[in-house]
Amino acid sequence: MLSKFYVREHIKSALQEDIGFGDITTENLAGENDFLKAELNTRNDGVLCGCEVFKQVFDVLSGEVEIKFYFKDGDLIKKGDKIADLKGPAKDVLMGERLALNYIQRLSGIATETRKYQDAIKPYHAKIVDTRKTTPNFRAFEKYSVFTGGGALHRFNLSDCAMIKDNHIKLAGSITEAVRKLREKISFTHKIEVECDTFEQVKEAVECGADIIMLDNMPVDLMKQAVEYVAAKQLSSYAAKSEECQRAGSQEVKLFNNSSIDKISQQPLTETNYSTQTPPHPQGKGVCHDNLSTLQPFNPSTDTDLSPYSPIALSPLNSHTSIPPYLHTSKIIVEASGNVNLDTVNSIASTGVDIISSSAIVAKAPTLDLALDIE
């Protein structure tokens, strides 16, 4: 996720900011033959993140500082743990010390905070995700920290996903019109998310084909109602599409895809093939037969697990194959946002939402206290 060239360029800029025209203290006290040994220790419990970035600071300075890590990114560390040993020219160790610590403390702090949130919703399937409320020019590092802490990632920037907010709705005139205009102009690879403040907006967003529904600052009871509504609408939609497949004389292929069920309609190679995804089993696992009302548990001894390929159509394709828009569908993702903190996140997850976005895991994360102790 963090490309080495990107990290190095960022570090070069940070070193220029920190060192300026020279470290007048170190350069006048440290000789060319002075060497230091140091330990990187932690004074807090937490999740370690940023080892490679820490190392790259000294590599950019001279490449002469040797570092041996005893932990890796994502590891849980305890107060008093020795994270790494360092040895090298005194000038390089001292000049790079503060910047290297700034990186690893900040990244570890975010990873630690993210882990707290994700642990708080363990009984539920939801994932904690970040937002675009990040430090300017530091987003890649902060997103890497969220991922390392066990969270998932929202869009990296404005070109990743179309997100329709209140001001966009006002500009377009309605949610429906905003989604219509975007569908006409953006790439088919991009999803459309709609921020909804009311239940009526949720219904409109579902009806006009939004891929992601954000429940913004909704009370928990209304959030649960919205999640149930979205699930019911998808079940109804899938049932209609399944009937369409049956009328085409399709044969089913059983699939199991984690918490969802996929159905493949298969016809001879000279005929058109259709594929559609069917709704989740009430218990999270299952396979689907032609009669969608009959769901059976996935049987690994008799059923074919094709989950690595889902939700892509797996029917044999030929030059005459086409997938009508009304048969090409996928699960609507429901996101909760607003008033998310460690006191509320569990109750939010209990509503059945898929993801919970929180700016707090980055913006309010305290740095993890690590220190470079010179021997």
- Cα–Cα separations (whole angstroms), residue 245 to 232, 289, 304, 332: 20, 12, 20, 21
**CA-closest candidate to residue 260, choices 223, 232, 288:** 288
> What is the Cα–Cα distance from 259 to 252, expressed in whole angstroms?
19
> What is the Cα–Cα distance from 299 to 308, expressed in whole angstroms?
17
**CA-closest candidate to residue 328, choices 304, 349, 312:** 312
3-class DSSP assignment, residue 208 = coil
Q: Which residues contact 254 (CB under 8 A, 6 or more apart)?
A: 287, 288, 298, 303, 304
Whether residue 282 is preceded by a cis peptide bond, meaning omega within 30 degrees of 0, is no
What amino acid occupies position 38?
A: A
Q: Which residues contact 319 (CB under 8 A, 6 or more apart)?
A: none
**CA-closest candidate to residue 102, choices 54, 58, 70, 165:** 54
What amino acid occupies position 72?
A: K
133 catalytic? Reply is: yes
> What is the Cα–Cα distance from 279 to 113, expressed in whole angstroms?
34
Q: Which is the catalytic residue, given 72, 79, 133, 170?
A: 133
Q: Which residues are known to be catalytic?
A: 133
